[in-house]
């Protein structure tokens, strides 16, 4: 108790010092100073608010931005939370903090529902280990907004078609015939798709949003092409002859990404695995590819939706699971999942992740202490366990989850 009190006093003094001395690095992580013009508030997820961004970090840190930007809210279930997530649009493309993509658009994940602040990035590490074609880059950061400290955030890619992000061929208005019209496209099946401009629904109740080309750039021929392609994929999947080598669904699905996607969601224990699915299609390639992995703050047994999910297979209990249930009726798909799981286990996925979790926890140790001193910073009024105990619970979940998949797969 005395240690906690001393930590509280120290963090309070440190914040007071920062308010006194201006824009400096708060902890050993990079510090982002977001300043809106005239102190404008960020009220919604639609309105871009102009301002500036300054990134302060240690000597030798790459990608220190100091310039104009726009900012707005983001997220569906996360936006109403007291600790807000944000989307940032820089004035020009930039490799922010040395991340691979030279891009304007970036995201600040608040991790309000995650009392370890690590779940999203552990999911990214799983994606990287499995070899997804694209895994979001990330950096832990401390954030100030209009002079006020608002906590520890994960700075990461905005999931979009862009260099070193989702890489598909660009379409222009003249691409209205095959083969040019065949790609690329980026689509999300999503619970909230009806709120988006690119929304369409299939006869199998699939709700989709065409992310690329966006609603301003896509023409009618391209819109019809990708909608019909997705509808054909679902029709094949749910047909009586879904395993037929000519008319079956395997002709339009990339098996390697499909297998990795299913293993990732089961290992992560993602309760929203089938409510939010990203798919992309390249030119002259008939296969829809799954990915990237995204939105996992409620994963790793971090929701009471199904009580303790440690020993539950997501394919059996997660919402909107009709497609994966159907896919798992394919003996070849099940066998490939089994073989892939054996391969990644032999390659040391558990051992690497078990070592990575405490490594990342140590990386944010100073920052998390500051973060959890703020009020309304997490869904728990006061975290019931010390930070390192919460991290150990995450490691315990992972060990038990791996044991479950060893048995089930």
pLDDT tens across 2-32, in order? 444 445 455 555 555 455 456 899 999 999 9
Query: Rounded to whole angstroms, how far apart are CA atoms 324 and 170?
Result: 30
40 in any annotated domain: yes
Give the pLDDT score at 1: 44
Query: Rounded to whole angstroms, how far apart are CA atoms 187 and 208?
Result: 7
Domain hosting residue 47, numbered range:
13-157
218 in any annotated domain: no
137 in any annotated domain: yes
- Write out the two tokens for 216: 């301003």
Query: Rounded to whole angstroms, how far apart are CA atoms 323 and 246?
Result: 20
Residue 136, SS3 per DSSP: coil
328 in any annotated domain: no
On average, the pLDDT of the chain sits at 94
Query: Rounded to whole angstroms, how far apart are CA atoms 374 and 48?
Result: 26
Residue 27 CA: distances (Å) to CA of 31, 63, 141? 8, 18, 9
Q: Is residue 155 a contact partner of residue 293, using CB atoms and an 8 Å limit?
A: no
Task: Judge residue 239's burial from the number of C-beta atoms within 10 Å of its C-beta, 0-12 exposed, 13-18 middle, 19 or more buried.
Answer: middle
Question: Tens of pLDDT along 361-409?
Answer: 999 999 999 999 998 888 876 667 899 999 999 999 999 999 999 999 9
Query: Rounded to whole angstroms, how far apart are CA atoms 301 and 310?
Result: 6
Q: Which helix (H) or strand (E) holds 18?
A: helix 2-21
133 in any annotated domain: yes
Q: Is residue 124 a contact partner of residue 111, using CB atoms and an 8 Å limit?
A: no
213 in any annotated domain: no
381 in any annotated domain: no
Give the pLDDT score at 3: 44
Number of domains forming the structure of the chain: 1
Rounded to 5°, the CA angle 144-32-108 comes to 90
> Phi, psi (5° rounding) for residue 157?
-65, 145
- Read off the DSSP letter of residue 359: H
Smallest CA-to-CA distance from 127 within 15, 12, 292, 251 is with 292
Smallest CA-to-CA distance from 171 within 122, 238, 226, 130 is with 226
Query: Rounded to whole angstroms, how far apart are CA atoms 104 and 110?
Result: 20
Question: Tens of pLDDT along 304-336?
Answer: 888 888 999 999 999 999 999 999 999 999 999
Q: What DSSP assignment string belongs to 265-296?
A: HHHHT-TTTTTEEEEEE-TT---EEE------
3 state SS for 324-353: HHHHCCCHHHHHHHHHHHHHHHHCCHHHHH
- Pairing outcome for strands 199-201 and 66-73: unpaired
Give the rounded percent of residues in the chain with a pLDDT score beyond 70: 94
Smallest CA-to-CA distance from 104 within 94, 113, 114 is with 94
Give the pLDDT score at 223: 98
The predicted model gives 33-43 an average pLDDT of 98
Beta bridge mates, 172 = none
245 in any annotated domain: no
């Amino acid at each position: 108790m005395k240690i906690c009190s001393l930590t509280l006093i120290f963090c309070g003094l440190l914040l007071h010092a920062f308010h006194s001395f201006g824009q400096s690095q708060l902890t050993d992580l990079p510090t982002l100073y977001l300043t809106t013009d005239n102190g404008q508030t960020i009220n919604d997820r639609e309105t871009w608010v102009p301002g500036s961004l300054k990134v302060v970090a240690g000597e030798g840190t790459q990608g220190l931005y100091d310039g104009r930007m726009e900012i707005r809210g983001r997220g569906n279930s996360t936006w109403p939370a007291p600790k807000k997530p944000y989307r940032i649009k820089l004035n020009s493309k930039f490799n922010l903090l040395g991340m691979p993509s030279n891009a304007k658009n970036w995201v600040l994940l608040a991790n309000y529902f995650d009392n370890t602040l690590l779940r999203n990035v552990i999911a990214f590490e799983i994606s990287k280990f499995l070899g997804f074609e694209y895994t979001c880059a990330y950096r832990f950061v401390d954030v100030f907004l209009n002079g006020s400290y608002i906590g520890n955030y994960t700075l990461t890619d905005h999931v979009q078609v862009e260099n070193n992000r989702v890489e598909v061929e660009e379409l222009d208005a003249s691409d209205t015939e095959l083969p040019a019209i065949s790609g690329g496209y980026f689509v999300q099946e999503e619970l909230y798709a009806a709120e988006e401009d690119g929304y369409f629904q299939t006869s199998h109740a699939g709700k989709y949003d065409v992310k690329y080309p966006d609603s301003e750039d896509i023409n009618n021929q391209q819109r019809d092409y990708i909608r019909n392609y997705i509808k054909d994929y679902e029709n094949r999947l749910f047909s009586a002859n879904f395993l037929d080598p000519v008319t079956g669904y395997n002709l339009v699905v990339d098996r390697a990404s499909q297998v990795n996607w299913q293993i990732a969601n089961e290992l992560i224990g993602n309760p929203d695995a089938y409510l939010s699915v990203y798919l992309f299609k390249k030119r002259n390639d008939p296969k829809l590819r799954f990915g990237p992995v995204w939105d996992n703050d409620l994963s790793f047994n971090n929701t009471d939706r199904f009580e303790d999910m440690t020993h539950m297979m997501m394919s059996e209990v997660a919402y909107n699971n009709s497609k994966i249930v159907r896919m798992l009726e394919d003996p070849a798909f099940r066998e490939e999942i089994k073989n892939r799981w054996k391969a990644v286990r032999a390659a040391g996925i558990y051992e690497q992740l078990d070592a990575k979790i405490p490594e990342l926890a140590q990386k944010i140790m100073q920052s998390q202490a500051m973060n959890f001193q703020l009020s309304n910073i997490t869904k728990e009024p006061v975290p019931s366990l010390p930070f390192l105990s919460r991290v150990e619970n995450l490691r315990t979940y992972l060990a038990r989850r791996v044991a479950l998949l060893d048995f089930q797969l």
